[in-house]
């Protein structure tokens, strides 16, 4: 048996012990989600000019975790008249760490399929979205260590609920088929996509490419990117190690994976030193819903064109099947 096959077997058997009791974790998130049930999203929308006749774009803001207005694009195929009752799937996308939602044309491949897109910023990072989250203690450069010793006011809590409420926002946008909402992203965006799948009832499909937020304690020890900021914080404050790891466990897809009910497509690069395969597989192996994984033994922290097509094929199959089952024409 060659080394590639042996590595695949090793990853398929990667099953570290969860870092948080499942009943305690479920109770925590059920209480958090109930606390947001009656909070208005305060969605605002305005038309945005675009040089591309094939798309219609609206600038969207909604209220996420706090009073911070979260910015997003709602992008629709240009040939669909807004006055019609036509509804189509919606792909909610999240960027990688330090990134932003970019220009609307970044999502043209989804429009070519006739889908809506809600492209969302992550607070405080490169996009237009700021953050009103109070910073009552020091932090390492970057974002994820902000408030890390205060679970309820941590950056991870804010980013998580911003993402969950993005999916709820998508469900209220015109032209969106609420039964066909997918969450999509890579790296940080892949982690947020998985997290939304675990926490939002609106998610019908998940594409998580090279996802972060998986087996986070392992990532703190080994990762070369965002979780390395947490490592730097602990290096300065070693007495807070246990507290910080216990907080991270609430957002770790290793622990949240069993909550996922929607079909999932995951990709993983075996040479990735940011979202390492030992972290991705650890979470993937605990997903109990319908799932598929794409391995790229010679890829690092990247999403290649082949995988982009795989994501398109995956969602097309799911949405066409659900459309046929519902008797819809799209």
Nearest residue to 180 via CA among 5, 76, 322: 322
Could you confirm whether 187 is annotated as catalytic? yes
Nearest residue to 91 via CA among 103, 105, 104, 75: 75
Beta bridge partners of 251: none
Pick the catalytic residue from 177, 252, 272, 295.
Answer: 272
How far from the centroid of its chain's Cα atoms is residue 304's Cα?
A: 18
Per the annotation, binding residues for substrate are: 97
Could you confirm whether 223 is annotated as catalytic? no
Q: Is 239 exposed, middle or buried, given 0-12, 13-18 or 19+ CB atoms closer than 10 A?
A: exposed
**Dihedral sign for Cα atoms in the order 26, 170, 91, 277:** negative
- 240 Cβ contact partners less than 8 Å away, ≥ 6 residues apart: 149, 233, 234
Helices (H) and strands (E) in the chain, counts: 11, 9
Pick the catalytic residue from 187, 200, 225, 226.
Answer: 187
Could you confirm whether 171 is annotated as catalytic? no
CA 181 to CA 193: how far, in whole Å?
A: 12
Token duo for residue 98: 């330090």
- Radius of gyration over alpha carbons of the chain, in Å? 19
294-323 exposure pattern, b = at least 16 Cβ within 10 A, e = fewer: bbbeebebebeeebeebbbebbeebbeebb
User: Which residues belong to the active site?
Assistant: 187, 272, 301
């Amino acid at each position: 048996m060659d080394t590639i096959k042996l590595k695949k077997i090793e990853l398929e058997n990667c099953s570290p012990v969860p870092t948080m009791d499942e009943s305690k974790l479920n109770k925590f998130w059920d209480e958090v989600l109930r606390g947001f049930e009656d909070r208005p999203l305060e969605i605002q929308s305005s038309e945005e000019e675009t040089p591309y006749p094939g798309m219609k774009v609206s600038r969207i803001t909604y209220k996420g975790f706090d009073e911070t207005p979260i910015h997003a694009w709602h992008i629709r195929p240009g040939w669909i008249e807004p006055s019609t009752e036509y509804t189509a799937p919606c792909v909610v996308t999240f960027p990688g760490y330090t990134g932003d939602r970019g220009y609307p044309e970044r999502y043209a491949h989804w429009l070519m399929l006739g889908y809506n897109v809600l492209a969302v910023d992550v607070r405080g990072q490169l996009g237009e979205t700021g953050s009103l989250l109070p910073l009552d203690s020091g932090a390492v450069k970057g974002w994820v260590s902000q408030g890390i010793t205060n679970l309820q006011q941590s950056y991870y809590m804010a980013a998580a609920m911003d993402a969950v409420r993005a999916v709820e926002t998508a469900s209220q946008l015109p032209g969106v088929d609420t039964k066909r909402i997918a969450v999509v992203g890579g790296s940080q965006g892949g982690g947020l996509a998985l997290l939304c799948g675990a926490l939002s009832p609106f998610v019908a499909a998940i594409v998580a490419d090279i996802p972060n937020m998986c087996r986070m304690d392992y990532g703190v020890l080994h990762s070369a990117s965002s979780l390395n900021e947490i490592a730097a914080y602990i290096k300065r404050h070693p007495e807070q190690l246990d507290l910080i790891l216990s907080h991270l466990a609430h957002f770790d897809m290793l622990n949240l994976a069993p909550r996922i009910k929607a079909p999932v497509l995951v990709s993983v690069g075996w040479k990735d030193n940011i979202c390492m395969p030992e972290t991705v597989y650890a979470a993937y192996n605990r997903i109990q819903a319908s799932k598929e994984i794409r391995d790229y033994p010679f890829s690092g922290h990247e999403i290649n064109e082949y995988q982009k097509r795989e994501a398109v094929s995956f969602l097309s199959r799911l949405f066409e099947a659900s459309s046929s089952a519902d008797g819809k024409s799209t």
